[in-house]
Chains A and B, each alone.
Chain A
Amino acid sequence: MATNNNRPISPHLQAYKLPLTGIISITHRMTGVLLSIGLVAFVYIVSAVAGGANDYADMKAFMNVWIIKLIYWGFVYALFFHLCHGVRHLIWDTGRSFETKTLNSYALIELVASVTLTLATLV
């Protein structure tokens, strides 16, 4: 059977400029993976609380090292980004808001909302 090599191909990531929705979409996936890894840290933290006052003090000192704190802030932002875009996925699941205009305006809303929620949590 003759094969047609000239068929349409999906956009290549290095040649195709992703629209805002596309950037947010892959960020949703990346934040999901990073948050999953962060859950390991949660087990460490809650185990330290269960371990008693000494373990707790050690954990607290470690979590207050500036670089760890910075990672935690990133974790909180990733959480709220994932939450906000997750809400949009739930809206999409009802079959609504697929128009180009709403795609972009919702994208801005969720970016602003995720930053606001992060600042409200950390400041």
Chain B
Amino acid sequence: MHYRTPLSRVRGLGSAKKGTSHWWMQRVTAVALIPLSFFAIGLLDLSFNAPYAETVKWLSSPLHSTIIIAWILAVFYHAALGLQVVIEDYVAAEAAKIIAVWSVNLVFFLLAVAAVLAVLRIISSVG
């Protein structure tokens, strides 16, 4: 028995019209985060131990600021995708589920913007 039309099979997007993109982006960001996270840990280590000037110098170098902004974009996206799955698994009521997922997405989007802007302020303070 085939309940799906040939067209829907070709499109491969399923009932949510998103196909595998959620699952796929979770993996893409995961792979990106493997090397990037070591730099994030490096930045935290500097921030807790090094003098102000040294941390600013490290973070404002073109290579490090690129890597840290890439990490920020990947990690907040990855976190929002992951929390969505957790919410969908444990929150049964439809309205609460939708509100929770939207809130998580909104909060993590705003946090990502705040973090990127902070890095940009650090770069511009060096001049």
A residues neighboring B (CB under 8 Å): 29, 32-33, 35-36, 39-40, 42-43, 45-50, 52-53, 56-57, 59-60, 63-64, 72, 76, 79, 83, 86-87, 89-90, 93, 121
Chain B's closest residue to A122 (CB) is: B45
> Are B37's CB and A79's CB within 8 A?
yes
Which B residues are in CB contact (< 8 Å) with A50? 117-119, 121-122, 125
29 of the cross-chain contacts (CB-CB < 8 Å) are A29-B86, A32-B79, A32-B82, A32-B83, A36-B82, A36-B83, A39-B75, A39-B111, A42-B40, A43-B115, A45-B44, A46-B115, A46-B118, A46-B122, A49-B47, A49-B52, A50-B117, A50-B118, A50-B122, A50-B125, A53-B52, A56-B52, A56-B55, A60-B47, A60-B48, A63-B48, A79-B41, A83-B37, A86-B30
Known contacts A79-B41, A87-B34, A90-B27, A43 near B118 by CB under 8 Å = yes
